[in-house]
Each structure stands twice: as C-alpha cells, then as structure tokens.
C-alpha cells in the first residue's frame, strides 16, 4: 500500500444509496467514503489490494470533496452562550472497474 497505509485507512466504508445502486448495476461503479487527505492513486491501490483473489482492475477513480456540516446549539438557557461543532470533511470516491468485474459480497443481500 502506498505511504504505509492499510486498506481501512484509505477506504472508510461503502456508500449505499439509490444513486450508488443505480450506477453499480449498469455501469460497474462502486462508491466509497474516504478521508479527505487521500489521493486517487491511494484509493486505486487500496481497492486493487483489498480483493487480491478477484484480481480487480480499476479503470478510473473520480473524487468529490464533501464538506462537514457546522452545527450549533444553545449551551445554557438564558446565558446566550452557544456550543458550535463541525463534522469532519471527507471525500466521496466513485471507482470504475473493468467490464465484467464485480466486488463480491459488498452489497449483496441489501
């Protein structure tokens, strides 16, 4: 793995949504959530090395930056102080595999 990162440090989780299911079936694309500091090359190597028995070939990796939400709530009633927090930024990676290849067991049974 590049720069000494393991697979679970590069790819956090698969994203399961109606849009990701639509492109997965017909276009052979899989969607993953990744930390904001990883690159396309890191994601490609992680997917190829995570499933060595399938011998996957990644054709393309598209990446979108997703900014974390800023949330605030009133900390103490009447005092006017507010507690402000932010969820972390992350990247959404859409990985395109070669025609005829699949990642088995990733979304089966859902």
Residue 2, classified by CB atoms within 10 Å of its CB into exposed (0-12), middle (13-18) or buried (19+), is middle
Q: What pLDDT is recorded for position 3?
A: 64
**What are the φ/ψ torsions at residue 96 (nearest 5 degrees)?**
-100, 125
DSSP annotation of 58:
E
Residue 13 CB burial class (10 angstroms; 0-12, 13-18, ≥19): exposed
* Digit-coded pLDDT (tens) for 12-67: 999 988 988 888 878 889 999 999 999 999 999 999 998 888 899 999 999 999 99
CATH number (3.30.70.330, 3.40.50.1370, 1.10.357.10, 3.20.10.10) of 2-97 reads: 3.30.70.330
Token pair belonging to 1: 């793995």
- What is the DSSP code (8-state) at residue 12? -
Tell me, yes or no, if the pTM score tops 0.95. no
């Amino acid at each position: 793995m590049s720069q000494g990162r393991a697979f679970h440090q590069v790819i956090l989780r698969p994203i399961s949504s109606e849009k990701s299911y639509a492109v997965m079936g017909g276009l052979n694309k899989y969607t993953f959530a990744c930390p904001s500091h990883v690159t396309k090359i890191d994601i490609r190597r992680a997917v190829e090395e995570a499933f060595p028995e399938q011998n996957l070939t990644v054709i393309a990796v598209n990446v979108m930056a997703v900014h974390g939400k800023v949330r605030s709530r009133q900390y103490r009633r009447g005092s006017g102080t507010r507690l402000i927090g932010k969820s972390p930024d992350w990247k959404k990676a859409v990985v395109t595999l070669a025609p005829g290849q699949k990642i088995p067991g990733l979304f089966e049974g859902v």
